[in-house]
Chains A and B, each alone.
Chain A
Amino acid sequence: MVKMLVPYPENCTGCRFCEMACTMYHEGKVNHADARLQVHRRNVKVDFPSVCTHCVSCGEDCCVAHCPVDAIKHEDGKVFVDQEECTACGTCVEVCPFGVMRMEDKAFNCDLCDGDPTCVKFCPTKAIVYEEPKPGQYEKVKKLLEVEQ
């Protein structure tokens, strides 16, 4: 079975080390807006991570289905953006239920760091785990995110 990032909002302390580690690993800088996952810190009771689930959460492939130029592919359990074909229209960013399709010059998303996700390595409380997908955990995050809409 393919492994994915699984969020455990109940373990998240809101420290946001995962976001920093993400862009440090990929771009050698810190920028939370470019991190391929997001920590939401809403109030004293609620902080949680939202991760790219590579479209296993509901099986609908939102970004893949909605991309007007078919630049987003879903192959071997991985969702990725073909940088040649992407027109940076922003549709995928809008439709991603987890809010983790990012946009700079082109759209991009989590690449699981070639099988050794940096965010998981740095999370001190196991709020993000690299393991078999857990649909129930994705649903928890979706529900939390709905408040922000």
Chain B
Amino acid sequence: MKGYTGKILKVDLTAGKSHARAFDEKHARKYLGGQGFAVEIVFHGVPKGADPLGPDNVLAMAGGLFDGFPVPTGGKVAFAAKSPATNTLAESIMGGSIGPELKHAGYEALEVSGKSESPVYILIEDDKVEINDAADLWGKDTRVTPETLKKRHGWDVKVACIGVAGEKLSKIACIDCDDRQAGRAGLGAVMGSKNLKAIVIRGTKDLVPAEPEKLLEIALRYQKIYEAAPSFIEDTKYGTGEFLGWVNKEKGVFPTRNWQESVFKEREKIDPYYWAPRYVTKNKACFSCTKPCGKLFEVKSGKFAGVAIDGIEYETLYSLGGQCGNADVESVARANELCDLLGMDTISAGVTVGFAMELMQRGIITEKDVGFKLTFDNASDAVPRMIEMMGNRTGFGDVLADGVKVAAARIGKGSERYAIHTKGLEPPAYDVRGMKGHGLAYMTSTRGACHLRAGFYAPELVGKFWKWEGIDRFSPANKGFMVSQTENFMCVYDSVGLCKFSRGFFLIAKLPEVIEAITGMNYTEDELLKIGERIHNMKGAFNVREGVTRKDWLLPARILEEPIVDGPSKGSKISVDEMNMMLDDYMKARGWTPDGTPTPEKLRELDIA
């Protein structure tokens, strides 16, 4: 089995033991790698009804099939577990270098089960696996932790770790590696619940592709394709926020002040076209990425002097910026840094702060409850301050530390009305009232509101993608079928480990050539999409087993009842009828029952047991 390590490492933290098991070509063909492997581990490893923050939950980490090989932008790693935020099977994908390092150590995936009695970290050096005491690291942030471990084990080890938020079981806690985050769905809390502070890896084994010369030729070819693309210069200059102005001004779907507005009028102050020339000192890239969208953002003077982050990403410009009415880019950067250091997802954290700000605007909570003015017009000071309190669970931060759904339940007084989420996950930076298929994708996403399970914002905003043209973002028609297709597409992407920003270049039809150069195995486009469908169905089946069905998928009231107030998408909303029509279409396209259950026939067809 060329190109594969052939092994999965299991670490049982309760027993303090580890062992590696082999997998065969059939397994590889069924799940590809990355997300596919991680989802398989959780699907089969987590018993029904398991407490996401209990010892029965399993945390999986798997390098994509391309990880470690010279495929431009192909170095992503997938984490998966039962999410404490959504109670569903949730995966979170990140860049960084931990996935490739795991494969060099000889493992396609890592499965962590059980719970340690005291804080530990896992050290993997090829065949040697240790569970070491992490008492001295507990309470440390996501920069001090890897630096301490690198001084101890050598600068070349790779470290994935959690911050204080993960230790304190925040349902919006993330996992960090190389200043990149597996942010969504609270997987950092799963690590924290296992008393697992960090995973440290040094891999020194060879990764041998089936056709080295062919693979190098492919690598150079795609690097040139990227460089020639018009988006290349903008992406590398301004990062992922490059299209903020377009989404905000031309499309009018940039959620602002907790989704009360959809155009952020002070957008220019947080637009990368403004800040990149002033604050960016260097470009940053994930492992094997030849089109660096990461930016080293440094604040040299003023009250936020000293801030240095890999950012600010588009999503964070929304969550800690527009969503909170925060037009001070230095404050956004500081809040971003605090999220990173404390180990919280910037999307969920920012949406939660914006939610609380609207509650104060409406008098549901008061300055007395919070301790200071948590208001949109005081955002520059209030956002970083509240983020710090949430990460440390101090004061009112403890109320907000688990995201909007839990916070609304704690606060009561009708606050649920202003909690924007699906399945318990806070939404990313697209106001789906003006992009209805993407609204469907927020509902069907197995991990809750997400822009990347289907990536459907791109087809709707651009109007074309893959095999479709003339896509109307205001129409619900045919979106059920299209979203089901792009979800399968994305499952393949996360399994090979490619960055989704490459999907315009690397359509699924282009992948068989690369997979063959690495593994020698042949696939057709349809076979790969079938694997994607299998992975999505496994997540769907898992979620139904945990009691999460259509009734839990629905869009929040604001999206269904309050049309967009201003801008190019003014007047648009998703009506209840449109929502139900899209969901019905989707279930049909999936071959699922109307309540979202994969049928026995479908599971058999996909060989899921």
Contact = CB atoms under 8 A, between A and B. Distances in A.
A148 to B, nearest CB: 5
B289 interface: yes
Interface stretch (A26-34, A77-85, A86-94): A26-34
Interface stretch (B201-209, B348-356, B562-570): B201-209
A112 B289 CA distance: 23
Interface residues of B, number: 44
Interface stretch (B79-87, B214-222, B248-256, B507-515): B214-222
A15 B290 contact: yes
A28 B2 CA distance: 13
A45 B220 contact: no
Interface stretch (B278-286, B391-399, B524-532): B278-286
B294 interface: yes
Contacts of A41: 97, 178
B147 interface: yes
Contacts of B310: 44
A31 B126 CA distance: 13
Q: Select the residue from B72, B209, B290 with max chain A CB neighbours within 10 A.
A: B290
B291 A124 contact: yes
A10 interface: yes
B296 interface: yes
Contacts of A13: 282-285, 289, 292, 294
Interface residues of A, number: 31
B483 interface: no
B292 A30 contact: no
Contacts of A30: 68-70, 104, 206-209
B205 A31 contact: yes
B586 to A, nearest CB: 38
Contacts of A44: 143, 179, 284, 296, 308-310
A51 interface: no
Interface in B394-412: none
B70 A17 contact: yes
Given A29-B207, A44-B308, A15 B289 contact: yes
B70 A20 contact: yes
Contact of A43 (B72, B143, B219, B220): B143
B204 A43 contact: no
A29 B103 CA distance: 13
A14 to B, nearest CB: 6
A108 B110 CA distance: 34
A52 interface: no
A122 B219 contact: yes
A15 B284 CA distance: 8
Given A17-B290, A31-B206, A42 B216 contact: no
A108 to B, nearest CB: 16
B288 A20 contact: yes
Contacts of B289: 13, 15
A64 B208 CA distance: 33
A16 interface: yes
B290 A124 contact: yes
A138 to B, nearest CB: 20
B204 A24 contact: no
B377 interface: no
B489 interface: no
Interface string B168-196: 00000000001100000000000000000
Contacts of B286: 15
Nearest to A40: B155
B49 interface: no
A45 B288 contact: no
A15 B285 contact: yes
Nearest to B103: A30
Contacts of A40: 155
Given A17-B290, A24-B216, A124 B70 contact: no
B266 interface: no
Interface centre among B143, B213, B282, B290, by most chain A C-beta atoms within 10 angstroms, is B282
Contact of A14 (B147, B213, B285): B285
Interface in B350-394: none
Interface in B211-250: 212-213, 215-216, 219-220, 223, 227
Contacts of A11: 283
A104 to B, nearest CB: 11
The 8 closest A-B pairs by CB, nearest first: A28-B212, A13-B285, A124-B290, A15-B285, A20-B70, A13-B292, A30-B207, A29-B208
12 contacts: A10-B282, A13-B282, A15-B290, A16-B287, A24-B212, A32-B156, A44-B179, A44-B284, A45-B282, A122-B290, A124-B227, A124-B292
Interface of B: 68-70, 72, 97, 104, 143, 147, 150, 155-156, 178-179, 204-209, 212-213, 215-216, 219-220, 223, 227, 282-292, 294, 296, 298, 308-310
